[in-house]
Amino acid sequence: MMLHGRGSLRAATATLGVATAFAICLTVFGAAARAPGAWASEQPAASLVTRVLHDVRVHSGQSVRVVYRIDDEAAGSGAGSVVASLTVETPKGSVVRVLVRGRQAPLGVAQEWRGRLRLPAGRYLLVAHARDAAGQAEARAEPARLVVLRALPPLVPSTAGLRLAFAWAAHRAGRVSVAVVDSRGALHGLQPSRLCVSASVVKAMLLVAYLRSHPQPSAGMRDVLRGMIEYSDNAATDVVYGVVGRSGLAKLARLAHMRGFRLCGGWITTRVTAADTALFFRDMERYIPSRQRHFANGLLAGITPSQSWGIPAVARPMGYRVYFKGGWLGAFVLANQAARLERERVRLGLAVFTDGNPGSPYGLDTIRGVTERLLRR
């Protein structure tokens, strides 16, 4: 572990042939201002060692727990106390934040600080400092690494939105499965692991599977893919499925960790779960060759208006970019939709599957109602 020693500058005297320099610790205890030269003690206490006991990785603004300890390696534990501080410093030793000032700490006993770290993203050190009753600073400080990540995005959906949407969906007729991956990556759902007939929602998987095996599709195949996604053309889908096949879909499902994926007959009767589908849509870009992501996103955002019911009808007026695919059978007795929603720093995955709907608009209303309640501010 990297050592981070602290002491003071001993005044040079004429009797010494060579001046001895120690690193200046800028931490000031109590209410005093922290400034260069504010702490000038005698020689460091030869056996006093400070340690931060673990590395920390945290998003800016999140709560964190830091444990540190001061030891007197000569006297051992139970040999009195010191005045301790805890600082956040750059790797070069500049102090960024003082977390603890002038706290009495018994030697050899772990101390704890809890709080929120609101710092720019970057790499820092957590350093404990101490001085004994004679005012002498630690001889050695052993820091821990602190990695601050970018602040988490706003939480969408809210806890209230999730509760409201799931309670409402649970009382709808027929069978309803909902899964949403929130803006911080957590999965929530109502019957999210129930196996559902995918219908045309699987066409998004066929698009990705085809682009993975044909990262430079011909102009003709681009038109076929456009028909499959933007107009949900089944004849175009048969062409793509003839190339991708069951094995191509199964391979993509394994890559995306879609544990509930089941091939049953043709592409239209593929079984999926809302949980797997919401995660797949949220992360879809990572499975598409980079040079074709713009093309794929354009298709999924450009679906014909007559099929842009449900999720996009709610989310677009709220400022979301919506990349989605719907599917239905009969007179919407089965109605499904899945999407990735993006706005500023918020990115969501959402899948709503309905079956056994009593009337043609009923399933579409269910998808719309769930989305409205999830996104309600």
pLDDT at 17: 35
| Residue 289, in any domain of the structure | yes
Same domain, 325 and 204: yes
Rounded Cα gap, residues 204 and 230, in angstroms = 11
Q: Could you say which of 149, 174, 194 is where a domain stops?
A: 149
42 or 319, higher pLDDT: 319
**What CATH code is carried by the domain that includes residue 266?**
3.40.710.10
Same domain, 271 and 336: yes
Average pLDDT, the chain: 89
Q: Could you say which of 102, 118, 149 is where a domain stops?
A: 149
Same domain, 144 and 252: no
Same domain, 74 and 113: yes
Same domain, 336 and 203: yes
| Residue 40, in any domain of the structure | no
| Residue 209, in any domain of the structure | yes
**What CATH code is carried by the domain that includes residue 131?**
2.60.40.650
pTM of structure: 0.73
Same domain, 139 and 204: no
| Residue 27, in any domain of the structure | no
Same domain, 55 and 94: yes
Rounded Cα gap, residues 268 and 164, in angstroms = 32
| Residue 284, in any domain of the structure | yes
Read off φ and ψ for residue 359, nearest 5 degrees: -155, 165
With a cut of 50, say whether residue 8 has pLDDT above it: no
Same domain, 269 and 349: yes
| Residue 9, in any domain of the structure | no
With a cut of 90, say whether residue 7 has pLDDT above it: no
Lowest model confidence (mean pLDDT) among 72-86, 185-199, 362-376: 72-86
- pLDDT digits 0-9 by tens, 211-262: 999 999 999 999 999 999 999 999 999 999 999 999 999 999 999 999 999 9
Same domain, 202 and 236: yes
| Residue 20, in any domain of the structure | no
Point out which residues pair with 188 in neighbouring strands.
180
Same domain, 185 and 317: yes
Same domain, 141 and 166: no
Q: Averaged over 148-155, what is the pLDDT?
A: 94
Q: Averaged over 309-314, what is the pLDDT?
A: 98
List the domain range (segments joined by +) for residue 280: 159-375
Residue 74 binned pLDDT confidence (cut-offs 50, 70, 90): confident
Same domain, 74 and 127: yes
Q: Could you say which of 117, 149, 181 is where a domain stops?
A: 149
Cβ–Cβ under 8 Å, residues 48 and 139 = yes
| Residue 246, in any domain of the structure | yes
Q: How many distinct structural domains can be found in the chain?
A: 2
